Structures are given as structure tokens and as C-alpha cells.
A and B are shown apart, each in its own frame.
Chain A
């Protein structure tokens, strides 16, 4: 965060946003919320969910590498810009091709010479990042640790469909026809349509998003396919994205028909958690080499399964277990892990996702929590997270006449930019949108 005109961080107005790696200064953790079992019958007041992160900063006349470096220091996540090609290595050395150009296709290029200025005053981080992408004609990807990577592919701006308090947009569409004969002569044909969706929280909390399901597509001739998840299993959940107010999900549909020319219908249901509540637990930090007791918060079980102390500091592995249909957002903003020392001093921790697994209807998630400069810790780990329950609210969405052709030689029938053309509720027609 940069205070206007001073170029120094303004930590008061930053809620560090990005989903997986987070570092919070001392004192940023919100006070414990009253009524930690929010949403349970009988509770008269529901605690507020954490608000969307915001940013205030002034960036003046910067090329993309410098702007990314400033964002990195403000947001405290890595923002990787692919390096320029060495001089002489390309006809346009200030631009980068992400992949060798395929014959007939133009390469994707990043413009390193373009300069930009940004003035953000308490704007949502997601909006600031989108402005960054629009200006430099790029997009942002996020890895499992929460680090961001700049890609030369511009942000998708196709039509959006309204789904209650959310918007659903097709970010990318891939049609693949793969036919092969293996070494034993066996013939296989795999033909599928892959749709990459972005789900954006417009007027409700992003933590409510579970996934998209029942995705159904019709081509220009009315030939339809329907996504079929395994019986008894929920799809998704949708994955966090670079923009804190978004989730993403890719759906792949087997396509048994001749190659589609256009899609006249893309529809589905947005599945939402009916209940999202803020939880807090405290776990006594055991000695290195020991494991902690299990602390329960409703159906969420928390345990420190590994504690290592070295000259670099303390590192613990936290394991959260919950029923498979439940969600836990430990890394939601604001990041919420800190060590509370015996005298009450609070030391924030860096949280990194390590992986997850499923076993007998339970979901297990491991996180690495680290704090530098603290070796012999006698205290408590205070953890705050969002508990997501009952993913059973469905909101239908519908996109008609998707204007992008899937066959070579067909012209696009709709514009690729401009305002969205949404119907009153739950549907949109082609034509592009922001």
C-alpha cells in the first residue's frame, strides 16, 4: 500500500488480499468475533464476514515490470513478469512470446515498453488488478502458493450471465478432437469441449461460491451435452483466482457430434454455500517434534501435526479436517494465523497451502505456517477461518448465442468488447461485456 504522494506503505488500509500466501503485520488480525457459531439456530446476530480487500496507491509512469514490482510490495505476494527475450533473440526484443508461434497463429506478446499510471484510493484489490491487466493487455494467473504470474494473453471480456448476486463468464473455450492409434493398433477418438468459467462476486461474498454444476451446452443445431459428475459427488469446488472476488472452474464435456460451429446456449447452476461463518480456534503450540491435541470447531478438527524450530524460526504444519461437503477457507483475507505469546504479544504467521486429500468422507488440508525469528515458542496459535457449509443453494445462469465461432473460417458474430447485454435476471445474450 502506498500512501498518496509519499511512496510508502500504508498498512492501515490494506487487507492483504491474495488467497494463499499472506503476511499480516502485528495488530491486523481483527478482534475475536462474538458468537463464533454464527448461523446456528438460536443465534440472534450473525458476525460479519471479512470485507473484500481494498487498496490505496499511486503508481506513476511505470512499465509493466516496475508496476508489478510495486504491486508485489503492496500486496506482499510475488508478482512474476516473464523476462524479456535477450536482445537479438527476436525481431521484437521488447516483447515476449509465451510459446513458439504455431503456423497460421499470431504469437502472444507482452508489451514491455508500454507505461502506465494508476491512482487507487480505497478501491477493491480485484478492481485494481483488473485495471492493471487491461492497461498492460495481459492477464494474471495464480499458483497454489498464491503467487501471481503475468501472462501476455489479454483478459477475457466476453458476455457475462447474471446469477443472482454473482456473474458467470466464459473465460476460455477449447474444442479438441484427438484421434490416435496406439502401439498395439488400438484406435481411440476423444472429442471434447472445455469451458473455463470465471465466477465473480458482485454484491455478495466470494466465500459463498462453491462451484458450477449441471453445465449444459447446445450447438447451432440444438445438439446438447450435459456435464455429468460422478454419482453422489459434488463438482468443484471452484478454485481461487488472482482476483480476490473471483473463483474459476473448468468443465470438460464429451462431444459426440460433428464439430460444433457455434454455441447457441451455455447454461448451468451456480452452487452456493448456504452458510459461511467466521471461526476462531486457539491451539497450544507443542514442543518441536510433538503434535498438538485436536481442537474442534464444529465439524472442523484442527491439529498441529509437525513443529520444527531452527535458526530461521518456527515452522508448523497445521492439519484441518472436515466433512467432505464442507469448505474451510483458512487463507481468505484477512489472513488469520498468529502466535500469541504468554505476555499477550501477537506475532503474525505466513500461511502456505501444502495440499489436501479425501478419505472416507472427510477432507484433510495441510498448511505450512511459519514465523521468522521465533524459535522457542511457548504460546498459542490463534487461527481464524471461514467455515463454509451446506452447498445446496442453486442459482441458474444462461448465456445464449455465444458469438465466437469454433470452426475455422467462420466470422465472429458478436463484438469482442463493449457492454454486457444481460436480461433482467439469470441470462445474457452474446455481444461481449467487460
Chain B
């Protein structure tokens, strides 16, 4: 593979840094030339950030500007010359005991561990393996509606790693088939051609979805197909000067290799910059819209720094034009950290002669083939008791409670006819001097036509029952019920009030 254009070359000799691109971000997935003596992990990934414009951060804080190494931090010598970033990251992980994943197309996140090891099949310079596999079995019923829907899908992620580290040239899949245990070949329902979410810059994942008819397979005899690989990645750049009192008039148009680019909106208000950019390209061109090596838009600032613009990105088939032509619409907005002097659109395009690399992965055990222990005996789960709830039990006010006290049962007149009423109970105990204690009010909840107060201190009580009607929308408003009775509570015995019904 050759690279038509690189974002620049950097040579670091010890702490002597020579930055040939003067702060400009590197191309999509650059090669690295870096020599450092006795460098910590933090120091290395900070330099990689300067070289590539990607962010490199770690779970322990390394990579952040304010991070400080421990005195005993591991230090190594690195000497990379024109090494693809993917191989650099693998080397780093190996030497510092790290695992790494990509943060979309912004950068990389490290944490202590190891890179996953997978069973790989090598063909044509590409190592093929399987990432996540999911089998889904769904039944959907709409009572009275159409017939029940039974749907089964198999989704898997095919990982393709370029052994030379140049993942940018990896294209889409062609002629893919999944052969089940019985020898039946299944074709994917969807293979997304331009998805470049991956862990490292030297590999690409290709998600595959199959709507599965019949019982889910436990195993696949094989997955076979062809992967397309291009010979090079060209990064086309369009620089639009912004210096001056007003931005250039729009629309602006430019041909970037096979891609037609147009800027429909370009507004600058102070440090705020908004732009809408549309790209169109024919079906036979391969432009990555998300992930690593994707289309990116930067603002160049007066001080020479570059700032990336983010926003809404929509990709799809072009509404008009030749069949299969693609379009990408970007609505981007940014607060510039300095006066903007230029807008730069970078469009990586895979190009050159295409190779079809055949591959075959055999004996794939699927999730439905894994052992799964299922419960067969019922759980007999009971509905939890509701505090003060539907069983009609009432909590005793503390100053009227006695462990060996009596039980008061209250008939709730007409309760069933007025289920939304609010019922309160006022309890007042006769004191030794013949006076009544302060009234303790409790709420009665639940649907039971009677309620109980258990563990009530013995003595004579005045029980006041008040029932407030529910708010109603129709008919006459019911009256509030307010009745009082006296009752003697005896230890361990049941006493009743309102037995005749007061409603």
C-alpha cells in the first residue's frame, strides 16, 4: 500500500521535537515516527496526541495535561519510524500492560489489561476473526391484532485486521455466506459497508445481520466470503479562507477526487462558526463517514492551531443521481478558541485497484450452542406486604401502644360503595382523672370493609371516625361522615365499634 498523502512527519529524538506540520492534525490514521528515551506511558501518549490530533486517555488519568507520573513509573525506550498508528498502539499495550478501545473517531481509551486474543484466520495479509455475536429470538403478540410475530436474528461482527497495520484500505464485504450445521447457506440481510467502528486503527469491524428462519443454530459450519481491499487511501483537502470582515459568499463548490463537495451555509458571529456541508460521491467510490479515517472538518485559527468542528452528520443514498450514489450532510457548529482564518474539509477516499480477499472461518459455536441452565420449578414468589396497606391493619400511635394490649376492630360503613374516600380515625383514651387524652389521628387505607388496631393500650377509648368523600365529576356530592363511639379495650381481647354500621 502507498499513502497518497500523509498528515506530516514527526521526528522526536530524545526531547528534541521537530513538528513538520506545525500543529496541523495528521491525516486520518497516520504513521508515527517517534524516538523517546526513558519515557513513561503518559509521556508517550501525550506525544502521540501532539502528532496525530487524536486524544489518548487512560483510566488512571495518564494522557491528561495535569497528570503526573509516579516516581516508580515504568519507563521504556521507543523508536518508531513510519510505523502505522495501529501497530504503535499494539506495541504500547504490550509493553505497558494495557488494553485500548477507540472513542469513536476522536481518540483512544486505555485501561490496565491485555488486548483480547482471538482465533484468527489469515488470508491475503488480513487476519479475520469474530467479535461480538448475538442471537435474538422474539415473539410479539397484539391481542386481537395480526397473527403473532416470530422473529429470529443472528448478528455478528467480523473483525478484519491488516497485518501491516494499514487498516484504512479495508473496504466492504462481498459474497458472504453463513453455513449452518445442516449445510444450509444463509445470506446476510444487511452488511453495512461504511461502518468503521473498531478498536484499533489497523482493524475494521464489519457487522453482519441475518434474519434467521427456523430454530436458531447452535453452531455454524463456516462463515465464508470475500473482503475488498483497496490499494491506497487518498485524503483530499479543501481549504476555504475565512480571513477578512465577512465570510465568503455561499454556496461554494469543489471537486475532491470523486467527491463533489458544497458548502451551503457558512456563518461566523464572533467566535461562533456554523456551517452546512454536503458531499456526494458515486457508488463505486469508498468514503468513510464515521469512525477512524472518516471525513473531518477543522477550523484553522489565527495562532496556527486547528480545531475540529462537530455536529449532526447524516449519511445515506443520494436522493437523485445514479443508483447507489451516496451523500453525506454535515451540520456543524463550533465555538472557536481564537479568530478563525480558514475552514478545512478533509475527505479520505479509498482508491486504487481493488483486491478481493477470500476468507473462511470454520466451526463457529454460537450463543445458542452454549450451555444454559434454566429453572424448572416455580419460584412461588409472594407479593410483598404493603405497609399500612390493603389488609386494613392500622399502625398504633406510639403513646397508645402496649405489647400485650387489646385489639380494636372498626367497621367501615359504606366503604365498599365509596372506595376512593379518605377515612381517618381519631383515638382518645380516658385518663385517670376522667379527662380525655389528646386525639391521635391515623389514616385507614386499603379496601377491607373493616380495619384493626392491634396492641392497643387497655382502657376506655373515644373513637372518632371521619370519612371524606372522593372528588366526583357527576351526581350529588356525598356528605362527610363523622361519628364517635366509646369502647373499652381489654388485654388480649377483641373489641368492636360501629358494628351497626354508620353509613
Contact = CB atoms under 8 A, between A and B. Distances in A.
Interface string A175-192: 111111111110101000
A106 B471 contact: no
Interface in A249-278: 256-258, 269, 272, 274-278
A393 interface: yes
Given A48-B471, A189-B372, A393-B420, A102 B116 contact: no
A224 B472 contact: no
Interface of A: 38-39, 41, 43-52, 102-106, 108, 153-159, 164-165, 169-185, 187, 189, 204-205, 208, 214, 216, 218, 221-226, 256-258, 269, 272, 274-278, 392-395, 404-408, 416-417, 432
Interface string B453-490: 00000000000001011111110010010000000000
B142 interface: yes
Interface stretch (B143-151, B229-237, B244-252): B143-151
B103 to A, nearest CB: 16
A13 B445 CA distance: 38
B413 to A, nearest CB: 18
A172 B446 CA distance: 30
Interface stretch (B25-33, B132-140, B160-168): B132-140
A395 to B, nearest CB: 7
B104 interface: no
A185 to B, nearest CB: 8
B143 A159 contact: yes
Interface stretch (B67-75, B294-302, B334-342, B377-385): B377-385
Contact of A187 (B367, B381, B446): B367
The 3 closest A-B pairs by CB, nearest first: A158-B143, A157-B144, A179-B367
Contacts of B213: 103-104
Nearest to A169: B143
Contact of A225 (B367, B381, B422): B381
A275 B146 CA distance: 40
A43 B482 CA distance: 13
Contact of B135 (A41, A180, A407): A180
Nearest to B133: A181
B162 to A, nearest CB: 18
B111 interface: no
Contacts of A105: 147, 149-151
A417 B146 CA distance: 12
B141 interface: yes
B138 A257 contact: no
A223 B378 CA distance: 4
Contacts of A221: 378
Q: DSSP class of A's interface residues: helix, strand, loop or mixed? A: loop
A216 B144 contact: no
A224 B378 contact: yes
Contacts of B141: 172-174, 404, 406
- Most chain A beta carbons < 10 A, residue from B116, B150, B157, B376: B150
B220 to A, nearest CB: 13
B435 interface: no
A171 B376 contact: no
Given A105-B151, A394-B386, A432-B144, A274 B136 contact: no
Interface in B349-384: 367-368, 370, 372, 374-384
A126 to B, nearest CB: 14
Interface of B: 116, 131-151, 157, 199, 211, 213, 367-368, 370, 372, 374-384, 386, 388-390, 419-420, 422, 424, 445-447, 466, 468-474, 477, 480
A181 B378 CA distance: 28
A394 B390 contact: yes
A259 to B, nearest CB: 8
27 contacts: A46-B469, A46-B477, A48-B471, A102-B149, A103-B213, A105-B149, A105-B150, A106-B146, A106-B147, A153-B145, A154-B144, A154-B145, A155-B144, A172-B142, A176-B139, A177-B138, A178-B136, A180-B134, A183-B157, A225-B381, A226-B382, A256-B374, A257-B376, A274-B445, A277-B471, A394-B390, A395-B419
A154 B142 contact: yes
A176 B380 CA distance: 22
B161 to A, nearest CB: 13
Given A224-B380, A275-B422, A393-B420, 18 more contacts: A38-B471, A41-B424, A41-B466, A46-B472, A46-B477, A51-B474, A172-B140, A179-B370, A180-B133, A208-B420, A214-B384, A257-B374, A278-B471, A394-B389, A395-B447, A404-B143, A416-B145, A432-B144
A41 B144 contact: no
Nearest to A154: B145
A45 B132 contact: no
Nearest to B466: A41
B445 A392 contact: yes
Contacts of B424: 41
A45 B143 CA distance: 43
B448 to A, nearest CB: 11
Given A48-B473, A180-B132, A226 B379 contact: yes
